[in-house]
Amino acid sequence: MKTRPNRILSQVDPYRGGRFLLLLAFFIFAGGCVGIDDLSRESYRKGVLYTSNLPNETVAILPMVARGENRRYLQPAETIFYKALTEMREQMSFLSPKDGLEKIKEEELDDFFRVFEKETSFKKVAEERDLSKFRKAFGTRFLLQTELQQVEIMEGATQVRIQGRLWDLEMGDVIWEGTGESRGYLFLFFPRVPATFEKAIEVASRGLIRKLP
């Protein structure tokens, strides 16, 4: 007895090639759309770190600073960093950079603030200092200072670095330092396209925040 050929199986699927290409494109896009490495690290922590009560404290966030060409990225960098900070540490209370500046003006501490920024550059080792004026103006014990240090394209990748310091205003001393750094591409496959600044600064910001005590 002869068997009929299975016409359904023997027919060529006219859409098979198209589906294969769509599937291949999906895997290429999903695997290569954004590749940003988080290179963040903690660089210093005071031997006796007494910040177990930090979540219960209000931390004043100073306006982010930048030098040279990095200044043009300052506003979006500060906005993205502060947004990430409030999202990732939602149990904590913060005094925003804007509110902090208002308190500095109210207390007529503009000159004191400018000297503080100049003398506590991240290029120098921070020394103990009298910060009682900040303590009084902000009404907080802890102060976070940040600087946008690097924004550049290196070997086809966007590289961003920010540095942070956590001050104890009561002791007038730095109790923690860290670096938020990212490096990556928007597309990993050739031709490689550098990641946008916004994507890179967000990864660097979140990396630095994760390292906070």
Domain ranges of the chain: 33-211
The dihedral of CA 12, 14, 20, 21: what is its sign? positive
pLDDT (0 to 100) of residue 155: 83
Low-confidence ranges of the chain (pLDDT < 70): 1-34, 48-53, 186-192
Pick from 24, 38, 22: nearest CA to 195: 38
CA 167 to chain centre: 19
Amino acid at site 149: Q
Residue 190: predicted pLDDT: 58
Given this model, what pLDDT does residue 31 score?
43
Per-residue burial over 106-122, b if 16 or more Cβ lie within 10 Å, else e, is: eeebeeebeebeeebeb
Q: Do you find a cis peptide bond into 191, omega within 30 degrees of 0?
A: yes
Kindly state the helix (H) or strand (E) to which residue 200 belongs, with its residue range. Answer: helix 197-211
Neighbours of 16 (CB within 10 A): 9
Which top CATH class is 33-211?
alpha beta
Record the tokens describing residue 165, joined without a space. Answer: 């310091």
Global confidence as pTM: 0.81
At residue 33, the pLDDT reads 46
40: CB partners within 8 A, 6+ apart = 178, 179, 180, 181, 182, 204, 207, 208, 210, 211
